[in-house]
Amino acid sequence: MSTQSADAPAAGTPAAPPVKCVVWDLDNTLWSGVLLEDAEVTVRPGMAEAVRELDARGVLQSVASRNDPATATARLERAGLAGYFLVPRIGWGAKSESVRRIAADLNLGLDAFLFVDDDPFEREEVSGALPAVRTAEITGPHDVAALLARADLTPAVVTGDGARRRLMYQAEQRRSAAEEDFAGTPQEFLAGLGMRLAVRRAGPGDLARAEELTVRTHQLNATGYTYSHDELDALRSSDRHVLLVVDLADRFGDYGTVGLVLLEGDAPAGRETCWTLKLLLVSCRVMARGIGAVLLGHVITRSRERGVRLRGEFVPTDRNRMMLVSYRFAGFALAEERADGVAVYEYRAAPGAAAVPAVPDHLTMTSHL
């Protein structure tokens, strides 16, 4: 049975994976009373603060409640909480189905969810239908405190992107709705987004997100290399390496940090004659925006401006062939196949070749490379 109290796991038990989304019941959970039966319901003491605290930690939140949608939404708005809940499911169906649909809408696995309800029947119904979903009970202030103390709701580090996670999801919902309603071509839609790309040197506050990107990004990672926080910090400080992070925003909002570039020089900065791309990756979330090609083209342009050769390492995985195609289309040719399985490609512009294509008109770029 997956029903748990709001307490953190007991000592000695394996650490549970982080909860990425908390789904709240409303009646007698988020607020005291039953909305359609009582003259007035009030948000439980500490609950509004708990919702805001989880949001600040980067934990997404939603609602699964048996209620009249308009009435419940109006009450959440009056409490100043409606904006914290993504894709709420308020109606009369089974709560397990509501949680299932929330997971599909957010594109998250069921094992990333925690369902909170005062009613043991509802918790059992969700656990029985969705065994991967964790559950917790809220009956009073002590349960609220215990919930916030859970290890699976307490990230070791909250990145800037993590603290803005809800806002980025909401921006993506607006973006997707606009694209679905758009009558023109995909290129025309891109042209109207007002995309802004910023390529900048990684700072100490970027390292947690950079580490996360190396671990989570597979299709658009040329080498599949992963780096720890400490390794990235050492590379950031090295005079033979340049570690860049890539941020993206548009008229709908912020995508956050979506890319990472690691260049290694054959000599300290200012004396190098060759750059090697040790890592070039772009989040799969922005794959359709063409950011990978833009980023690679930008690195090529900078290398030509500085008169240094440019090489790129490639390690084939079962998912990153797209990055090899990007190298080849950009003018890279195989230069070396090492015994450790790394293929090294070198940019070789044909004699008299034109400059690498400029950044597309629909994209504005700033760079510190």
- Could you read off the pLDDT of 54-91 as tens digits, one per residue? 999 999 999 999 999 999 999 999 999 999 999 999 99
Output the pLDDT for position 154. Answer: 93
The pTM of this model reads 0.80
Residue 6 confidence (pLDDT): 54
Sorted by sequence, the CB contacts under 8 Å of residue 247 that are 6+ apart come out as 197, 198, 200, 254, 255, 256, 257, 258
* Tens of pLDDT, residues 116-169: 999 999 999 999 999 999 999 988 888 999 999 999 999 888 888 889 999 999
The alpha-carbon radius of gyration of the chain (Å, integer) is 24
pLDDT at res. 263? 97
Residue 5 has pLDDT above 70, yes or no: no
Q: Where in the chain is the domain with CATH 3.40.50.1000?
A: 21-153
Annotate the chain with three-state secondary structure: CCECCCCCCCCCCCCCCCCCEEEECCECCCEECCCCCCCCCEECCCHHHHHHHHHHCCCEEEEEEECCHHHHHHHHHHCCCHHHCCCCEEECCCHHHHHHHHHHHHCCCHHHEEEECCCHHHHHHHHHHCCCCEEECCCCHHHHHHHHHCHHHCCCCCCHHHHCHHHHHHHHHHHHHHHHHCCCCHHHHHHCCCEEEEEEECCHHHHHHHHHHHHHCCCCECCCCCCCHHHHHHHHHCCCEEEEEEEEEECCEEEEEEEEEEEEECCCCCCCCEEEEEEEEECHHHHHHCHHHHHHHHHHHHHHHHCCEEEEEECCCCCCHHHHHHHHHCCEEEEEECCCCCEEEEECCCCCCCCCCCCCCCEEEEECC
Question: What whole-number percentage of the chain has pLDDT above 90?
Answer: 72
Confidence class for position 321, pLDDT limits 50, 70, 90? confident
Higher-confidence residue of 1 and 355: namely: 355
Band (319; pLDDT cuts 50, 70, 90): confident
Task: Tell which residue, 72, 22, 12, 16, has the closest CA to residue 47.
Answer: 22
Q: How confident is the model at residue 14 (pLDDT cuts 50, 70, 90)?
A: low
Amino acid at 280: L
Residue 114 has a pLDDT of 98
Position 222 scores a pLDDT of 87
CB 201 within 8 A of CB 231: no
What confidence score (pLDDT) does residue 329 get? 86
Model confidence band, residue 1 (pLDDT cutoffs 50, 70, 90): very low
Architecture per CATH, 161-367: 3-Layer(aba) Sandwich (3.40)
Residues of the chain with CATH 3.40.630.30: 161-367
Is the per-residue pLDDT at 235 higher than 90?
yes
The pLDDT value recorded for residue 15 is 65
pLDDT higher than 60, residue 13? no
Class level of CATH domain 21-153: alpha beta
In angstroms, rounded to a whole number, what is the distance separating the alpha carbons of residues 284 and 216? Answer: 9
